[in-house]
A = this chain, B = another copy of it.
Amino acid sequence: MAGTSLISPLGGKLVNRTGAKERSAAPAVSIKLSAWEQCDLEMIAIGAMSPLEGFMNEDDYNSVCDKMMLSSGIVWALPITCTVDQATADSVSAGDVVQLNDDEGRLLGYLTVDSKFTPDKAKQATKAFGTDDLAHPGVKMMMESGDICLAGKIDVVTPRHDPLFTTHRLTPVQTRAEFETRGWKTVAAFQTRNPIHRAHEYLTKCAQEITDGLLIHPLMGATKDGDIPGEVRMKCYEVLIENYYHPDHTMLSVLPAAMRYAGPREAIMHAILRQNYGCTHIIIGRDHAGVGSYYGTYDAQQIFDTLEGTGLEIDTLRFEHAAWSKKAGGMVSGKTFPKIEGDQIFLSGTKVREMLLRGERPPVEFTRSEIADILIESMKG
């Protein structure tokens, strides 16, 4: 049954850690946050990571690693920490306020330190990422981070300097307000870090058919090398929506989160974030948030079956791969149409890349020509 008001944020209310004033006297210690931490700071500040109000302490860190929940019992899948080197940690005591800067040394906000602890990185790798392989981009980033975590609430002056995509950078408060204005009670979120080809367009539209609206919600925080640049992706989304989506039922906004490629655990995080943004459903495809072959095809779907009663209210829409079927004369998936030799128009990522680099459009059944043209143009030079 459809609800009568928007879905609750995780933990019951949206956190807001923005609006802090710059201190007249700068704290003695300032920290340059990593790319991940800058994203996390912004996400915490705007309430996208509710109920987090800051960086995790040791209890929450261990509880999240071991039990996939905060020490309060609320679901949480990945540690959100602020790491520093030993020397910096030694210069800070509980109760101190530390300044948090971005990588250009600009003030973001302050951390009121309530504790310090040494993260068990080997455990974190195995529990959160399911692997300690340094070839995994998320594991590598985590292993290279500082050896001590500073925990405490944050008070943010500027969540992000020179943010990109400002016309499509809605906070959870803003997406929720927009959903209310539009009268959307059910909203499906689509997480992506790639241009949308026909297959994903199809999945989003299946989701759209059974909800009031679709939020195309590309992750635009830190990603790994080799991913298509945000500006190019954004242009693809805008052009695709303009030409092939219904404006009354479609919204585009960016998720300023970092990508950890943690597969099933990150799928849960993606769901939590979208619940905070006011979405009632999230599309979870095969190998969601995966990289390489670290995760089983359906791990990121099945993990949601273990979360009853942990506070996660958003529903998953679990999809198979989709492709154009010549016999069906339309988009199909492994659930809706049997596989017939040679019937489906499918190209590997490598193949598509090669075509685009040569200036060739993939078949329109695979990629809309408008999107192919943007990608071809972006690859020139």
Contact = CB atoms under 8 A, between A and B. Distances in A.
A347 interface: no
Give the number of times this chain occurs in the complex, counting copies. 2
A66 B245 CA distance: 43
B337 A244 contact: yes
Nearest to A339: B246
Interface residues of A, number: 40
Given A208-B336, A210-B207, A244 B1 contact: no
A245 B335 CA distance: 8
A331 interface: yes
A246 B338 contact: yes
Interface in A313-365: 315-320, 328-338, 364-365
Nearest to A304: B1
A335 B207 contact: no
B2 A319 contact: no
A364 B329 contact: yes
Contacts of A365: 329
Given A206-B210, A209-B333, A209-B335, A1 B328 contact: no
Nearest to A283: B210
Contacts of A244: 328, 337
Given A203-B209, A209-B319, 19 more contacts: A1-B304, A1-B307, A1-B315, A1-B316, A2-B305, A205-B332, A206-B206, A208-B335, A209-B335, A210-B317, A244-B328, A244-B337, A246-B335, A246-B337, A246-B338, A247-B338, A249-B336, A329-B365, A330-B330
12 contacts: A1-B312, A2-B304, A2-B305, A205-B332, A205-B336, A206-B209, A209-B317, A209-B319, A244-B328, A244-B337, A246-B334, A329-B365
